[in-house]
Amino acid sequence: MYKEKTEKGHQIKIVAFFCNWCTYTAADLAGVSRIKHAPNFRVIRVMCSGRVDPQFILDAFSKGADGVLIGGCHPGDCHYIEGNYKCLRRFQLFKKVVADLGIEADRLRLEWISASEGDKVRLVINDMVSKIQKLGPLDLPAKYKSWDSEMELLEKCVREQSNEIIKEEMEVISHG
Amino acid sequence: MEKTNGQIRIGFYICHCGTNIASSVDVQKVTDFAATLPNVVVAKHYKYMCSDPGQDMIINDIKEQNLNRVVVAACSPFLHERTFRNATFQGGLNQFYFQMVNTREQNAWVHLDPLASTDKAIDLVRAAVQRVASHKPLEQKKVPIHPDVLVIGGGIAGIHAALTLGNAGKKVYLVEKEPTIGGHMAMFDKTFPTLDCAACILTPKMSAVKNHPNIKLCTYSEVEKIDGYVGNFKVTIKHKPRFIIDDLCVGCMDCVEACVYKEARFPDEFNQGLSRRKPVYMPFPQATPQLVLIDPETCIWFKSGKCKKTCVDACERKAVDLEQQARVEEVEVGSIVVATGFQPFDSKKISYYGYGNYPNVYTSLEVERLINASGPTQGVVVLRDGSHPKTIGIVHCVGSRDKNTNSWCSRVCCLYSVKLAHLLKEHTGAEIYNFYIDMRTPGKSMEEFYNRIAEEGMKFIRGRVADIYPDMSDPDHKKLIMKAEDTLIQEIIKVPVDMVVLSVGLEPRHDAQQVRRMLNISCSTEGFYIERHPKLAPVSTFTDGIFLAGCCQGPKDIPDTVAQAGAAAAEVLALIDRGFIELEPNTAFITEEECSGCKSCIHLCPYTAISFLEEKKKAFINEALCKGCGTCVAACPSGSIKQNLFDDEEIYSEIDGILNFDHISRELSYV
Amino acid sequence: MADKPKVAFYWCASCGGCEESIVDLAEDILFVADNVDIVMWPVGLDFKRHDVEAMPDKSILAALINGAIRTSEQEEMAHLMRQKSQVVIAYGACAHQGGIPALANQFELEEILRWVYHDSPSTYNDEKTRPQTKFYDENGRIPELPQLWNVVRTLDQVIDVDYYLPGCPPSPKLLKDAVIALLTGNVPPKGTVLAPDIALCEECPRKETKPTDLVFDEFKRPHQVMIDTEKCLLAQGLICMGPATRAGCGALCTIGNMPCSGCYGPTSRVRDQGAKILSSIASSVNGKTEHEIDKIIAGIPDPVGTFYRYGLAGSILRKKVKFEERV
């Protein structure tokens, strides 16, 4: 799966926030059980899914994550009684914001994975990777760069004393 | 720190873990990469970082190279974070100037492509190197340990743990939900491999528990609620009403004699329903404590409100109290041993074995009672129809090693089947057939035990029984045919028998999940409680102060159960005698001048650690109550709550490290 | 005259409210006028671009630029002001965070132009004429008009900014303090937002009435309720951004019986104001299942417009990042 790069040679990369007690332990269990799965994710350990600040998710997307996965304990099982409910509430509202800002729903996922569910880690990761591979890279750093390319034109036109360049380039930008 | 003029100097180490990591992750490449990262002064790889030479390498480098931060890429932090923090400390640094990268469990072991594993390691190493730069020195909070202990479950595991602790002078609350302690072991006849009688071993221990000055025995009681944390648990124990006043009852059984039911009519739980009891009864003659109880489900007074209440009158000590109510007690303990045991597999789930339909199909536990001298038949093996069996078939692995029921090996069935074969032969002289998948006899003296019994003339057939059905050629239709493939001769065989014994497996108790939630511990896939680490911390749980003993952690035999109970007791003693535990300093705190007093965080804390200071109009976190989940940190709308070890900046630097890479260099890495 | 420090004001994508706020200095404006030479202020004085261009680089002490950057002309002027000024202050919510104009970042430029010039019900434009950057007038001249950019930007996404004066508009007090600080050279570190680094609740008179155990059973919008004039607005089920917004305005909106909509931006400890207030409010939604939660948050029909009303351009994502394929 890893070798199937998208056209531009981009590796799908998912940032995963796993709670210490359930999902991180499940990912360890997957390891101990040698359950193979896609390597396209990088885990950041937090004590509880309730620690996941929506800012982290935006930050990850803006720095180039193609997906963000949050893993917490099943409802009723939170090590901290109800941190996972707080995570769920934020997630329900936050995913609307993320969708409204043009990021596909499949790129942001919340999963309850208990310490015993090593195989669920595999299922969720593989599923998420394959869905995101279909969507292609999000690659916001490149997007920001291309957005800001419209500003580089100014210097060029100042140099060449003509607005013509801007107009031509704008056509390219707005239609291409 | 002064030696380094405020500069960050990071030592980076990646462990080969023999070949565990090095066969998937190019450790040389990761080391070379780490050396190029800002602030990294030392980058090395080594065969076993957790070994003494590995740790010494860290310690020496800290001293010689003036390192002030350490990153180790090795196994899961659950395994060796403490080890490397300690090495960091030994080198003269605050132990929290350390960050670990999980390169084994969550990388080398789960990915197939070494290039991908190496890339992943590189990303996570960059994240850790960036993160560790913003680490701060932290002090661990010491929490005093309340010296009293709660043991949940009064089977052999709980009994042994309680006695060990009590003998060490610790006060123990032993809570058992049944009216007597003893658990499953009390039901057994003899035990393998020594064939000594279970009661001879167990009953002295039971009475030792009862009479122990340091053990408070709470039978017919349940733990309802547990609050608090290691060192300071508040436990709510519910004492169910026996309708007998404990202090007055002497176990004379006069009330039982006097019951309006002249005949015992109700299935006797202890004898697996093979005998009858009255509504007022003692579970078994050696029950501990020696108290009778009234079962409101069968007592006519509770059912209809009409009874002559002869039991009340019969008791000279006025111990019968039909108005008795459940009583709730709250106790404080510092640590907990969970010894809640197992339940036998329910044979009815495998319909083709006919348990419940054919009277001569028995479970192994029923047979234990049947051959027991104090059992329903005083040890005479009489079938439900009154006959004596001449041929007996024993089915191994019932509800074990079967993906349709339970996939695991229950570990004790082979040996107890062999034991039952021996005892049945001894009691009946019958022909005995053992149907097994594999004979599994690990452990000291076990294979010898098996060989000895096998020589007694048992028949061992290697094959799983596919069907059990009545023998139509038998005039009374009482005989049963056991059909199986003998895989050694590759033939289907049909064996007519008088009695079938189903060697049922061990499975998690039906209420294991409920108890798990109450204790805030985890279960493995099968539903047994999960230990912190199978080798490094085999009786600890992920929740500090809670330890495991016996079959609640997984199937095991009595010697192992007792050993494990001893280990759990030893862990508890170590905790108590140390007097305190150092907590992970991942607590949250509020910077007063930054807090606007918006109160958004106050009720988000399930531990009521956050309060609103009315005079200052600011929120305040009581560090002693904070458990460090970080929920309030994520929710503080003005970013005024910070969390040690998991601060925003630390997490941002991880995100940045993971993602901040040069696309070109990555493309090159594939060339 | 020549000895007085020079100050310039400039406006970009803005509503004019920031200019008003300068006038709102009232008699203090005399102090400003006495102590500085205003060398550029399109709304008040007749200086032209070429006047500024003629000045030596860094000859202006401070340029206060309001409005978001949306056109090539605004961008060009921003660069010019930067070149001529020692200090550049992003003045007001739009220059600081993008402000209301940055809500356009939820849409594609083409979408906006089509709506404004063709599709909106009040538009009559059969020829489908669109503004052009260049055309020939009847005298054969070729005037050029600024190009509208695809992205609305904060000032610091275009030029280097020294300080920020937040607010829609900044309060006169903050402006006065900033001018005094500049004149006396008593300036904070570069990058500072010149307003208290604490959330609005600190100065909100309703703070007292907020319960410590507030959970949300429903959300309401201001037009749907009779707003209690004393009680905490969040406690009335209204989305108030106060807890996630810098103080400094004197709680103008909440005193005026309207919830805070966040114009002063986040505190220095927050990277994304919208995400933070969302995190805080959502944590207290009274539900444990997706269904229960969704029912309650349905009361926030436009979360982006609600939580990023003034801050979209300056938020982490900045803009809607992907648009559906146009058919």
- Identify the pLDDT of residue B668: 37
Contact C321 A104 (CB under 8 A): no
Residues B380 and B503 in one domain: yes
The H or E element that residue B32 is part of is helix B27-36
Q: Is C235 inside a domain boundary?
A: yes
C-alpha C200: how far from its chain's center? 17
Residues C292 and C211 in one domain: yes
Mean pLDDT of C113-137: 89
For residue B508, whether the previous peptide bond is cis, meaning omega lies within 30 degrees of 0, is no
Residues in chain B with CB shorter than 8 Å from the CB of C242 are: 598
> Looking at chain B, which residue has its C-alpha nearest residue C210?
B599
Residues C117 and C229 in one domain: no
Residues B133 and B146 in one domain: no
| Residues contacting residue A71 through CB under 8 Å, at least 6 positions apart | A16, A17, A18, A19, A22, A23, A24, A26, A27, A49, A110, A111, A112, A113, A121, A124
CB burial of residue A152 (10 Å; 0-12, 13-18, 19+): exposed
- Identify the pLDDT of residue B164: 98
- Identify the pLDDT of residue A150: 87
Give the Cα separation of C242 and C231 in Å (integer): 14
For residue C169, whether the previous peptide bond is cis, meaning omega lies within 30 degrees of 0, is yes
Residues B406 and B483 in one domain: yes
Residues C117 and C224 in one domain: no
Q: Is B320 inside a domain boundary?
A: no
In angstroms, the separation between the Cα of residue A64 and the nearest Cα of chain B is 6
In angstroms, the separation between the Cα of residue C273 and the nearest Cα of chain A is 9
CATH for B69? 3.40.50
The H or E element that residue C177 is part of is helix C172-184
From the list A159, A163, A150, A156, the residue with the least C-alpha distance to C142 is A163
Mean pLDDT of C104-114: 94
Alpha helices (runs of H) in A33-163, residue ranges in sequence order: 54-62, 83-100, 118-135, 140-160
Domain count, chain C: 3
CB burial of residue B48 (10 Å; 0-12, 13-18, 19+): middle
Residues B499 and B517 in one domain: no
Q: Is C193 inside a domain boundary?
A: no
What is the domain extent for residue C205?
A: 200-307
Mean pLDDT of B390-397: 97
- Identify the pLDDT of residue A57: 98
Considering only B15-24, C28-37, C109-118, C211-220, which range has the smallest mean pLDDT? C28-37
Residues C74 and C119 in one domain: no
Residues C233 and C137 in one domain: no
CB A25 within 8 A of CB B542: yes
Residues C177 and C247 in one domain: no
CB A64 within 8 A of CB A141: yes
Residues B19 and B104 in one domain: yes
Residues B450 and B491 in one domain: yes
Give the Cα separation of A154 and A150 in Å (integer): 8
CA-based torsion, B59, B64, B65, B69: positive or negative: positive
Each residue's pLDDT tens digit, B547-572 = 999 999 999 999 999 999 999 999 99
Each residue's pLDDT tens digit, B215-254 = 999 999 999 999 888 999 999 999 999 999 999 999 999 9
- Identify the pLDDT of residue B661: 54
In angstroms, the separation between the Cα of residue B478 and the nearest Cα of chain A is 45
Mean pLDDT of C233-238: 97
Domain count, chain B: 5
C146 touches chain A (CB under 8 A): no
Q: Is B542 inside a domain boundary?
A: yes
Residues C115 and C250 in one domain: no
Residues C291 and C239 in one domain: yes
Residues C120 and C257 in one domain: no
Question: Which residue among B596, B604, B640 places its CB closest to the CB of C200?
Answer: B596
Q: Is C325 inside a domain boundary?
A: no
From the list B575, B419, B435, the residue with the least C-alpha distance to B494 is B435
Question: Which residue among A92, A103, A154 places its CB closest to the CB of C72?
Answer: A154
From the list C269, C280, C212, C279, the residue with the least C-alpha distance to C246 is C269
Residues B77 and B188 in one domain: no
CB A20 within 8 A of CB A47: yes
- Identify the pLDDT of residue B5: 74
> Tokens standing for B121?
């390691």
Residues B479 and B515 in one domain: no
Contact C272 A55 (CB under 8 A): yes
Question: Which residue among B78, B604, B660 places its CB closest to the CB of A86?
Answer: B604
Contact A94 C275 (CB under 8 A): yes
Final residue in a domain of this structure, among B530, B557, B580: B580
> Tokens standing for B476?
């009374």
Q: Is C302 inside a domain boundary?
A: yes
Each residue's pLDDT tens digit, B498-508 = 999 999 999 99
Q: Which chains, if any, share at least 3 CB pairs under 8 A with chain A?
A: B, C
- Identify the pLDDT of residue A81: 86
Q: Which one-letter DSSP state was computed for residue C117?
A: I
Packing angle of the helix pair A140-160, C72-84 (nearest 10 deg)? 70
In angstroms, the separation between the Cα of residue A127 and the nearest Cα of chain B is 15
Q: Is C74 inside a domain boundary?
A: yes
Residues C213 and C246 in one domain: yes
Domain locations in chain A?
14-138, 140-176
Q: Is C277 inside a domain boundary?
A: yes
> Tokens standing for C142?
């070729």
Question: Which residue among A36, A48, A55 places its CB closest to the CB of B629?
Answer: A48
Please give the backbone phi and psi of residue B117, each rounded to the nearest 5 degrees, phi first. Answer: -65, -40
Portion 323-362 of B in contact with A at CB < 8 A: none
Residues B573 and B626 in one domain: no
Q: Is C255 inside a domain boundary?
A: yes
pLDDT at C52 over 70: yes
In angstroms, the separation between the Cα of residue A175 and the nearest Cα of chain B is 27
CA B285-B287-B290 angle, 5° bins: 95
- Identify the pLDDT of residue A125: 97
Structure pTM? 0.85
E strands present in B54-198: 69-74, 98-102, 141-144, 149-152, 172-175, 190-191, 196-197
Q: Is B319 inside a domain boundary?
A: no
Residues C85 and C67 in one domain: yes
Residues B383 and B310 in one domain: no
> Tokens standing for C299?
């009361």
Residues B161 and B223 in one domain: yes
Contact B530 A13 (CB under 8 A): no
- Percentage above 90 pLDDT, chain B: 91
**What CATH number labels A14-138?**
3.40.50.960
Residues C79 and C175 in one domain: yes
Q: Is C189 inside a domain boundary?
A: no
Considering only A46-55, A163-172, B68-77, C95-104, which range has the smallest mean pLDDT? A163-172
Q: Which chains, if any, share at least 3 CB pairs under 8 A with chain C?
A: A, B
Residues B396 and B480 in one domain: yes
Give the Cα separation of B341 and B158 in Å (integer): 9
What is the domain extent for residue B119?
A: 10-138+651-669
